[in-house]
Amino acid sequence: MHTRVKIYLFRHGETNWNKERRLQGQSDIPLNDFGRELAFKTAAALQAIPFDRAFSSPLKRAEETARILLGNRNLPLTTDPRLLEIHFGCWEGRGFDEAKQDPSHPLHNFFCSPQSYLPPAGAESFPEVMARADAFLQEQILPLEKVCSTILIVAHGAFNRCILSSIAHTPLEQFWQTDLPNCAASILSLENGQFEITEKSKVYYGVPVNGRP
């Protein structure tokens, strides 16, 4: 019987909007060729890992990354809408830098003072994303303790930081201190109903890309 579950929480590979420093949110942007290359290099390094279950955000960039990472394993991939990226409403597709540089921009605090961020109409707050992340962990992952040994999850940059912040009880003002490149893994453990972070921002390719917005 398994006593500890190991969870590989990946961010998806690169997209053109990552490269162009644009807000993706829940816009369904696919991987670019370089993003697929990162995923295939990562998959090669994971070949010996016997994943028991696999989950992904339903957005193309995450689902394709997950399928590449799974390779030829005979394992179904479960998509869950609770793994979607944070939603930016009508601001999706706009540039990061204009928001960061303009204190009057509705998303300025998202990047520069996350503890003070109030989402514009149609967008999500950090607590809302953390709530659905916690619901996913409690309802999908906790029941797999003593059933699985290794789990794959592929989601998104801000979403994954919400999971890490929640597990580590990190204050929101430190939200962006975690570097989380494309196709980077945060490795978690689950034992006796408790999640812990054992490693963050692990990449299996060369120089990390797009670590912070």
- 85 annotated active-site: yes
- Exactly one of 12, 63, 64, 124 is catalytic; name it: 12
Residues 84 and 87: their CA atoms lie apart, in Å, by 8
- Exactly one of 14, 63, 85, 124 is catalytic; name it: 85
Burial (CB < 10 A; 0-12, 13-18, 19+), residue 213, is middle
DSSP three-state, residue 54: strand
Instruction: Report, as residue numbers or ranges, the catalytic residues.
Output: 12, 85
